[in-house]
Chains A and B, each alone.
Chain A
């Protein structure tokens, strides 16, 4: 089978997960690789689930098959768990642990699950998990909006992408507005540090 890297990205509308997939796709292009980035638009800004995929290498279509993701990038803990159908024990899971409580939880009196329980469920499927409050990290970097830079920094720092970290870093910084550049630069660096701290098993 041809060499490829399948990345599945999930999050909540407004978190910047679609930008993250575009940045990854752009970085692949700049690295001279073949890439397809799959997105579903329409409900993104209305608080719904937003999923996208970045498939690098010899691929034909935008959809990552069940259990086939090499990397699962989750912007929100229960959305990461929901997307674990795409993962296997070989998948590197990078997830934000900061919850975005669905509005329906308040309305219907549902309970938002405990984060530790969610992480336990994720780890039961794949042991390779980097989990931390990336929203908090983004805030420390200067703005919660830099969440995607933090998480991309983790991917870059984890050494799982088929291109060097600098390519992605440059794409991110070129892709954000001028005034947000410093914050994103810091956020990206903090994400890379986090990857170095939380050493996962080598990605398959």
Chain B
């Protein structure tokens, strides 16, 4: 740049058009330069800025173009040569002073550069600013190349001083941004003799004065014409009866096409540099010496219209072509290719369309926000809140406009500099839609302030986010009023003070890279009304590095492939088939950010948050079914995939869909807002929707998989017990390649599912079909064999089974401990009663039945009694409803069917007459202190005894293991209840080859618990037999404390639309209570979709693509399904590490 200040006349230098303009101005002795940067004019400003640091040339980046022109005009009025540069749309902003400085004129030279951008390489429109010359009557010159840019600028100053008028210099991108050889002329010394010469009749254009100036301005047009004629830039070249009139860079295309067509000698070319006033003498000359004229100019038919007017005025008989159809295109910049047809046509030369090569469709490469861009981070934080709503994003002009592209999509509109503020205000009138206005810091100073004043004054509803990256980044990091790169020359304007001064009280300043705080602040702003301003402040990383010279970070970030896309439940990173939705990803990203109590930026990584857990529902599920996953798939109508996902955790979803006790639902976060989601209802729907053919196909695939695995394994394992625990263990073992045999004392498989569950709750055919299906994948079932009688654990091991899984359940009902209980006819415990009905088809029952207890078995027995014809069925429970283990829905169903419930009572005596049971004496209880289970202890009230008549008493107060079956067998140790102690993670017992699962271990007591334990035992057996200890546990065990902690990862700050839990249709209680047909019909598809829609997508999902799908930093890329970070592009901002739901992005030392 220094070169431009050197005298060296005759020196030939390669200069950018914009540099040529600067040199031309220096040669004319320019003393003051002002600008607001804007492509393609920015290098004029930047060059002057650089020169101002090393010379006495005054330069300022003005706040906007209007300011720039006013400052430059006043300097010129005060006697200093001045230049002012801007992009084409900038002149709209400066149009106000332009149209009046035309009246007052100037004393020293004033050149106003307007850089037009045909083709909109970096602009929002391609307006043709030549019309500003006609509008303001200010003379305009237009150079055709960089060499001319220098010469014409120099001449423009002389012209301005001769006419005492400003002069417009119009350029286009192809002149500004082309380098050409410039020849240096002498420099005119700078004088610096500013002084304002008072002249009321000139500088004070009140109407009286302006009326005097206006005729002078018109008169000066003729002077301008004469003066510009003398400059000699306009010229008529060549000979022939064809004429081409052209200007600016289009001249170059005309010359080249004439050369190409070998027609340079056939046409006269009028090259116009004087855009206003036009060189009328030359136009008249060409009109009178040609028959046909082609006007070749970019954009509007400016010359063409003028030429046609002159033709008419002088009565020339000449054909004129220009922007008409099929001639010169009106839109976009021209090129040789684009004007060749028109030039050839006017010359009557046939041209073939050039052969074009077919280029295949290639991936696009649109410009993006840079890696580490602070705007992206702000956008991500705002979207985390705003995308929950139908938010309108009003944006503005700057780098941040690039937020329009996916995945950010935070630019719904923009109009002009500063327009975001006011558009958001206008759009919010009578519109409840939330809105956010984004504006850059420089743009805010340029034109946003007045809009904000308007918003405050007129009490608009506005959330304004000022993207303060401390620089004017878009145009090349120029300073703005808050910058103080050179403190002695630039004072720092305090943005907060300015905004507060306007009257904004709701103002927050955030560092966008602190995502947690930024999201909190945005969320807060969203909950309020009125004018709210958030300044999101952090320097542009490129600016920090290049201009502020900040040192490169010593860190970079990498994707930990062990954590990325790995939830820990499946054996490999790609094992899960679900794809999660953007909304869910962003919600989960936000949940993670807000829930994190560790520093995600901490280095080394150990200091950072741990891997974040699954949703409370999944965390609570003993089998760890991915509930949020199948809810998301159900929501998308992808039912088969949803069912497949469930089956990755449990082999019998149809059965579970009927009878699971649903611990997930009791921990459903949605329950805190309205009702828990009917998770199991959705599961039942998914399972039932599967057709018989689909089920068979699925089983076939699983059988094939098992047989394939067996080729590498083939170990023999025995499972004792065909209940849910045994079935689950057998399923997993079979899939792991073991040859599995299940032994059961019943002839049919199912265990408690058959023996304990009555048919009205669990249709027999359904159990059979699903369990038979499981067995059909290669599992051998040997029914009718009883442990301890037909075989022992030891005999199985001796017979060649490498391991035994004990899943024998707990089938012994507990007794009431009343006198005569074992002898009196009419007393039998619930499990035995249900077994007889379910397995043996017993159809007898007492007339008045009392069931003692408060759990599922009590309800089942009570309802079976009714179905067997009992006149009354009554439950006696020792505590109150609140303590009852039976779940609410089951209790409702039981009461609906006509079962009476006696709370707070317990039996004390069986009343017997003639050896027959005639009644049950009970005592009333009151609630005492809580016991170890946390429930209130029932305390009998002395003297409150009462009698209930009955002929059948069914105790249903709990069950225990059948002790004797293991007598004389391998000693596995027994607890005081008779349970076999087993490891909670692997089912391991004290014998290395014996494992246990289900009720016999004394843990769980539910179907889903038994399934989970069965799968854990299968894992334990595989570990023991294969020695493969690298594999992770298929199901993690969570302590109650961990389950409670999972609520920390509930989606924060959501306010879901109110909804209520869907309930499936059922037969009325009075109708259904007399038969064993199924009474509940499950949810409809519509209900399922509504339930899935209510799901809040709590927890995290490893399957996500959040960093790419929602953040979109160019440094993060995907290859072969894996996510990586490009270390060259990474700026180590660390934001991706914060938003990764899986904490898979870690800082590492460079």
**Real complex partners, A and B?**
yes
Contact residues of A with B, CB < 8 Å?
Answer: 1-2, 12-13, 22, 25-26, 28-29, 34-43, 45-49, 59-63, 65-67, 78-79, 81-82, 84-85, 87, 101-108, 110-113, 121, 125, 144
Interface size for B (C-beta < 8 A) is 60
- B606 CB–A CB distance under 8 Å: no
Whether the pair A42, B121 counts as a contact (CB closer than 8 A) is: yes
A-contacting residues, B637-692, CB 8 Å: none
Whether the pair B121, A47 counts as a contact (CB closer than 8 A) is: no
- B354 CB–A CB distance under 8 Å: yes
Cα–Cα distance between A2 and B180 once the two chains are bound (Å): 18
Question: A48 touches which one: B367, B399, B1108, B1116 (CB < 8 A)?
Answer: B367
Whether the pair A82, B359 counts as a contact (CB closer than 8 A) is: yes
Question: B1109 touches which one: A2, A36, A85, A107 (CB < 8 A)?
Answer: A107
Whether the pair B407, A45 counts as a contact (CB closer than 8 A) is: no
9 contacts between A and B (CB under 8 A): A38-B174, A39-B16, A42-B122, A62-B249, A63-B335, A65-B337, A85-B357, A103-B1112, A104-B365
- B370 CB–A CB distance under 8 Å: yes
CB-defined contacts of B173 to chain A, threshold 8 Å: 40
Question: B355 touches which one: A1, A26, A67, A103 (CB < 8 A)?
Answer: A67
Given A36-B178, A81-B362, residue A47 in contact with residue B335 (CB < 8 A): no
- B292 CB–A CB distance under 8 Å: no
Whether the pair B122, A36 counts as a contact (CB closer than 8 A) is: no
Whether the pair B180, A36 counts as a contact (CB closer than 8 A) is: yes
Whether the pair A105, B363 counts as a contact (CB closer than 8 A) is: yes
CB-defined contacts of B42 to chain A, threshold 8 Å: 41
Whether the pair A48, B365 counts as a contact (CB closer than 8 A) is: yes
Q: Which residue from chain B places its CB closest to the CB of A26 in the assembled complex?
A: B14
A-contacting residues, B326-366, CB 8 Å: 335-337, 354-357, 359-360, 362-366
> B160-168, B251-259, B1022-1030: which lies at the A interface?
B251-259
Whether the pair B363, A36 counts as a contact (CB closer than 8 A) is: no
Whether the pair B145, A61 counts as a contact (CB closer than 8 A) is: yes
Whether the pair A29, B365 counts as a contact (CB closer than 8 A) is: no
Whether the pair A46, B179 counts as a contact (CB closer than 8 A) is: no
CB-defined contacts of B145 to chain A, threshold 8 Å: 36, 60-61
- B886 CB–A CB distance under 8 Å: no
Cα–Cα distance between A42 and B119 once the two chains are bound (Å): 13
Cα–Cα distance between A60 and B355 once the two chains are bound (Å): 24
CB of A115, distance to nearest CB on chain B (Å): 13
- B39 CB–A CB distance under 8 Å: yes
Cα–Cα distance between A62 and B256 once the two chains are bound (Å): 11
Q: Which residue from chain A places its CB closest to the CB of B407 in the assembled complex?
A: A107
Whether the pair B122, A60 counts as a contact (CB closer than 8 A) is: no
Whether the pair B1128, A37 counts as a contact (CB closer than 8 A) is: no
Given A46-B369, A102-B364, residue A60 in contact with residue B402 (CB < 8 A): no
Whether the pair A102, B365 counts as a contact (CB closer than 8 A) is: yes
Q: Which residue from chain B places its CB closest to the CB of A125 in the assembled complex?
A: B357
CB of A162, distance to nearest CB on chain B (Å): 15
Whether the pair B364, A41 counts as a contact (CB closer than 8 A) is: no
CB of B1129, distance to nearest CB on chain A (Å): 9
Whether the pair B367, A13 counts as a contact (CB closer than 8 A) is: yes
Cα–Cα distance between A15 and B650 once the two chains are bound (Å): 53
CB-defined contacts of A113 to chain B, threshold 8 Å: 360, 362-363
Q: Which 9 A-B pairs have the closest CB atoms?
A: A61-B252, A60-B252, A42-B122, A48-B367, A37-B179, A46-B367, A43-B367, A103-B1114, A62-B178
CB-defined contacts of A1 to chain B, threshold 8 Å: 259-260, 262
A-contacting residues, B367-409, CB 8 Å: 367-370, 399, 402, 406-407
Question: A66 touches which one: B354, B368, B1108 (CB < 8 A)?
Answer: B354
CB of B301, distance to nearest CB on chain A (Å): 21
Whether the pair A46, B1118 counts as a contact (CB closer than 8 A) is: no
Cα–Cα distance between A15 and B173 once the two chains are bound (Å): 22
Whether the pair B362, A78 counts as a contact (CB closer than 8 A) is: yes
Whether the pair B180, A106 counts as a contact (CB closer than 8 A) is: no
Cα–Cα distance between A87 and B365 once the two chains are bound (Å): 21
Given A40-B177, A46-B370, A60-B251, residue A85 in contact with residue B356 (CB < 8 A): yes
Whether the pair A61, B249 counts as a contact (CB closer than 8 A) is: yes
CB-defined contacts of A37 to chain B, threshold 8 Å: 14, 178-180
Whether the pair A84, B357 counts as a contact (CB closer than 8 A) is: yes
CB-defined contacts of A28 to chain B, threshold 8 Å: 14
- B235 CB–A CB distance under 8 Å: no
CB-defined contacts of B399 to chain A, threshold 8 Å: 46
CB-defined contacts of B1117 to chain A, threshold 8 Å: 101, 103, 105-106
Cα–Cα distance between A85 and B1118 once the two chains are bound (Å): 30
CB-defined contacts of A49 to chain B, threshold 8 Å: 365
Question: A107 touches which one: B174, B335, B355, B1112 (CB < 8 A)?
Answer: B1112
CB-defined contacts of B181 to chain A, threshold 8 Å: 29, 34-35
CB of B425, distance to nearest CB on chain A (Å): 30
Question: B253 touches which one: A12, A38, A63, A106 (CB < 8 A)?
Answer: A63
Given A37-B14, A106-B1118, residue A47 in contact with residue B370 (CB < 8 A): yes
Whether the pair B362, A87 counts as a contact (CB closer than 8 A) is: no
Q: Which residue from chain A places its CB closest to the CB of B473 in the assembled complex?
A: A45
CB of A158, distance to nearest CB on chain B (Å): 22
CB-defined contacts of A22 to chain B, threshold 8 Å: 14, 179
CB of A106, distance to nearest CB on chain B (Å): 4
Whether the pair B365, A79 counts as a contact (CB closer than 8 A) is: yes
Given A61-B252, A61-B336, residue A121 in contact with residue B178 (CB < 8 A): no
- B449 CB–A CB distance under 8 Å: no
CB-defined contacts of B542 to chain A, threshold 8 Å: 45
- B750 CB–A CB distance under 8 Å: no
A-contacting residues, B1106-1120, CB 8 Å: 1108-1109, 1112, 1114, 1116-1119
Cα–Cα distance between A121 and B1114 once the two chains are bound (Å): 27
Given A29-B181, A60-B251, A84-B359, residue A107 in contact with residue B1108 (CB < 8 A): yes
Given A37-B14, A63-B253, residue A87 in contact with residue B1109 (CB < 8 A): no
CB of B267, distance to nearest CB on chain A (Å): 15
CB of A122, distance to nearest CB on chain B (Å): 10
CB of A155, distance to nearest CB on chain B (Å): 18
Given A46-B399, A60-B145, residue A102 in contact with residue B363 (CB < 8 A): yes
Cα–Cα distance between A125 and B356 once the two chains are bound (Å): 10
Cα–Cα distance between A85 and B39 once the two chains are bound (Å): 27
Whether the pair A60, B174 counts as a contact (CB closer than 8 A) is: no
- B12 CB–A CB distance under 8 Å: yes
Q: Which residue from chain A places its CB closest to the CB of B119 in the assembled complex?
A: A40
- B605 CB–A CB distance under 8 Å: no
Given A46-B367, A47-B368, A47-B1114, residue A61 in contact with residue B177 (CB < 8 A): no
